[in-house]
Structure 1
Amino acid sequence: MEQLPKSLEEAIAEAMVATQAALEDGYTRLQVELVFPELRMMPIAQQFLSAFEDRGSRLRVFFPDAGAAALARRDWGDKDYAIRGMGELKAKMQPDEELFIFIEPSSVEVGQLEELCTEAGDRPVVLLNPRLEDIATIGIGYAGRQLRERFLSQFDSCYYLQPTDGAAISRSYPSSWRVWLEREEGEYELIAEEPRKPVGEALNQLLLQATGGGESEAAQPSAMKRPGLLSGLQQFLRALSQ
């Protein structure tokens, strides 16, 4: 990813290529994240899955529930691969299935997801836009959360794209994590490449260095204090939603 995608379709296409490359290199637990508010997942999933349809019945697609799976079957028409809800009786994996893609699983379904991943064994699993960050919401104790977090740590990010105020974070396998800064309205400049995802204070420091921020600014909770940055974020989101 030498520059940020200019449209949502371009971002999905990049995610398809990155996922295929990671699978070819032997990764078996992957996740793809397009971190934008109010995304409509059904058309995104349909475009993303087109990269894997040549696997036919060797592909299995899971939605969080039977209702979403039924809606996909209705809207997408006949497919050579199975589309099921995670809790369906027919959700049992078949021996000849080689790739499992989960569409937007949440912390509510993390128990079912873990069971299905165990059933998958060493066969590859891809999570498309998982919503698993707040494990505490599923009502389990500390030890249970630790086990769940250990399970989720098995997944490698092969594609990630998230705009934030005046900046963006991205990763497209096999590239490293990249941080972008808005220099002009809607134009982003690559300012850093990191082996791990920069978050919190580490991200703030990278942005401060790029903008020439001083010690007093470093004490602020965010490095993005310039006027107009939020409007740049909104423009980026609008462009990706076109």
Structure 2
Amino acid sequence: MNWTPPDSLATAIAQAQQATTHALADGKTRLQIEVVLPDLSPMALAHDYLPLFSELGADLKVFFADAGAAALARREWGNPSYSVRGVNELITPVAASDRAVIIVAPTPVEVTTIEQMCLTAGDRPFILLNPKLQDVAVVGIGYAGRQLRERFLNTLELCYYLRPLAEEIILWRCYPQPWQIWQYSPLGSTCLAEFDQRPSGEAIERALAAQRGRSGEGFVSRLRRFLRALQT
């Protein structure tokens, strides 16, 4: 299968759903999805992504970082058939009857609880939508931060990723494809680089060296601003 990068938010979410389906079919149950676009709220992303699991009904459980966000989602979504709760709202967040667990925009504050929920879920699909957990490993103090990355974060398959690097350039991954850098233009999209694993900021900058030369310093300054956010 050879997909090209999305030309709209609707296409990106459809690709995220397809990537999820392919990853689950390959036996990967701990998944992560990141669609990092300006003004895209986690609730809007979740609302459009969750129909992928509509057949599960009440056997799907969706969590937000706090009870207030969960209550707002229930109200905005018209009290859906599946459970929508805050991460710390239930004594037993993952029940034996749950067939899939999705956590929307978790933060470092909830990381210990989320890790335990993931262990409880076992082989059932456990999916993080636009998480902010990488911050824990970045700011973690020495060995503790590395332990967290090895024990939990590195067990997640980042099956879909979309993030602008500059005005017309994106970093994109759609499972089972590799990581890629694409450039949009009026004539169509062009793949500028490909990586087997998520590239570091330095790897991206090296891959775009030729592009920098053609585009001048304006491109460099814009790109470096985004690269700082990609450091892991």
- Matching of residues 188-227 of structure 1 within 5 Å: 188-209=189-210, 211=211, 213=213, 225-227=216-218
- Counterpart residue identity of residue 26, structure 1: G
Q: Does 1:152 align with 2:153?
A: yes
Alpha-carbon distance in 2 for matches of 1:136, 1:194:
22
Q: Does 1:173 align with 2:175?
A: yes
- Counterpart residue identity of residue 179, structure 2: W
Q: CA deviation at 1:5?
A: 1.2
Alpha-carbon distance in 2 for matches of 1:90, 1:212:
53
Alpha-carbon distance in 1 for matches of 2:187, 2:89:
44
Aligned length: 220
Runs of 4+ in 1 over 4 A off after TM superposition: 226-231
Alpha-carbon distance in 2 for matches of 1:71, 1:186:
42
- Counterpart residue identity of residue 142, structure 2: Y
Alpha-carbon distance in 2 for matches of 1:175, 1:133:
22
Aligned partner of residue 157 in structure 1, secondary structure: strand
Alpha-carbon distance in 2 for matches of 1:53, 1:175:
26
Judged with a 3 Å threshold, the aligned counterparts in structure 2 of structure 1 residues 2 and 24 are, in CA distance, closer, same or farther, namely closer
- Counterpart residue identity of residue 177, structure 2: S
Alpha-carbon distance in 2 for matches of 1:91, 1:71:
22
Q: CA deviation at 1:69?
A: 0.7
- Matching of residues 16-35 of structure 1 within 5 Å: 16-35=17-36
Aligned partner of residue 50 in structure 1, secondary structure: helix
Q: CA deviation at 1:148?
A: 1.5
Alpha-carbon distance in 1 for matches of 2:118, 2:13:
24
- RMSD across aligned C-alpha pairs, in angstroms? 2.6
Alpha-carbon distance in 2 for matches of 1:104, 1:186:
35
Alpha-carbon distance in 2 for matches of 1:199, 1:90:
39
- Counterpart residue identity of residue 103, structure 2: F
**Residue of structure 2 equivalent to 1:235:** none
Judged with a 3 Å threshold, the aligned counterparts in structure 2 of structure 1 residues 133 and 185 are, in CA distance, closer, same or farther, namely farther
Contact 1:59/1:81 (CA < 8 Å) preserved in 2?
yes
Question: Cα deviations across residues 189-218 of structure 1 (Å, max 9, x unaligned)?
Answer: 112222112222211121124x384xxxxx
Alpha-carbon distance in 1 for matches of 2:138, 2:209:
34
**Residue of structure 1 equivalent to 2:57:** 56
Unmatched segments (≥5 aa) in structure 1: 214-222, 232-242
Structure 1 stretch displaced more, 103-112 or 185-194:
185-194
Structure 1 stretch displaced more, 155-164 or 187-196:
187-196
Alpha-carbon distance in 2 for matches of 1:152, 1:3:
27
With the length of structure 1 as denominator, give the TM-score of the two structures: 0.81
Q: CA deviation at 1:143?
A: 3.1
**Residue of structure 1 equivalent to 2:227:** none
Aligned partner of residue 193 in structure 2, secondary structure: strand
Judged with a 3 Å threshold, the aligned counterparts in structure 2 of structure 1 residues 97 and 36 are, in CA distance, closer, same or farther, namely same
Alpha-carbon distance in 2 for matches of 1:227, 1:142:
36
